[in-house]
Structure 1
């Protein structure tokens, strides 16, 4: 059972749709909290994606992140620095696709009942690393960047922040389980 099902046991379409809309709102808000960096700002997007996956599970998590990406593709200002449809064709497009991998990995852990701080942190770290697979592959293919260039400029500056966000997501979700257990 996922944390979202424990908190909202209803399987109604209305309840699930509300959760997806709430999740996209959290993602949109987290996207606007940023520190300017190149090639992408360091935002709380990854924290939100991890928390959504760890809370909702893989299926609802994927639907939520896909809905957020659809909102962005439709031109809504839900990505970092507002973003736009052009973000799906620029050098950072691979990271947008990587968010789907990230939420699927975090969600699979939730589906398997991982609730501990350590377990969720490890899953968050793995999911964070998985984000870089399409995130770096896309600019390598489109811009002809070399892997050393991409690792040093597009990955290394974000690793510490991503590790901290993985720990924070694990703290939030394992804390949610702890509070629920005390009821």
Structure 2
């Protein structure tokens, strides 16, 4: 009846009744989508992929709440966007999902799963392990986003068609690497800091 584990911050403070657990989990998922939306709106509007705080929010949520809550939250967020709610950096809708950032958005789902997997196994109390898990998830997200860009390269006039791979990497991946390392470090320190204050000792 619960979507998290005792190794996560949410699992530590789960209510005892099954109904309350389900209600808490559902509320966390919905509130999590609001947090991701707010993080998406804090952005530097560069083309083709804006710099946002989405990856920080998703990493922190997955690390704090575990794999199932993390994946469920991102899945609901993507569903909200697909139905046209303006939850993404500059809008919403299926056309937005099919655009240049679509691969990164789908990659967030996998990223949440990977980071949550680490959290469910106790990484929330170990900053180095949690940061490593976040970097793995972040790298997979980037790989999916990059592959998406390459798949749509023929229709992307902003790419140099004579050197698609290098140009896509230079414009949509390379500028964000340092920023995302910093965001993952901050997310890991935030969650492990909260664990040291409120988490279960042992």
Query: What TM-score comes out, normalization by structure 1 length?
Result: 0.93
Q: Report the counterpart of residue 25 of structure 2 in structure 1.
A: 16
CA contact (8 A) 2:111 2:138 kept: yes
Stretch of structure 1 that moved more, 85-94 or 63-72 = 85-94
Q: Which has the larger radius of gyration?
A: 2
Structure 2 CA distance, aligned partners of 1:34 and 1:175? 26
What whole-Å deviation, never above 9, does each CA across 1:16-58 have from its counterpart, x for those lacking one?
1101011111101111001122211100000011011101111
Structure 2 CA distance, aligned partners of 1:102 and 1:9? 27
CA contact (8 A) 2:12 2:199 kept: no
Q: In proportion to residue count, which structure has more helix?
A: 1
Match of 2:53 among 44, 48, 54: 44
Is 1:7 aligned to residue 23 of structure 2?
A: no
Q: Which runs of 5+ in 2 are unaligned?
A: 1-6
Instruction: Please provide the CA RMSD for this pair.
Output: 1.7
Q: Report the counterpart of residue 143 of structure 2 in structure 1.
A: 133
CA contact (8 A) 2:12 2:200 kept: no
- Count of aligned pairs between the two proteins: 183
Q: Which runs of 5+ in 1 are unaligned?
A: none
| Structure 1 residue 182, shift from structure 2 partner | 8.7
Structure 2 CA distance, aligned partners of 1:170 and 1:131? 17
Query: What TM-score comes out, normalization by structure 2 length?
Result: 0.85
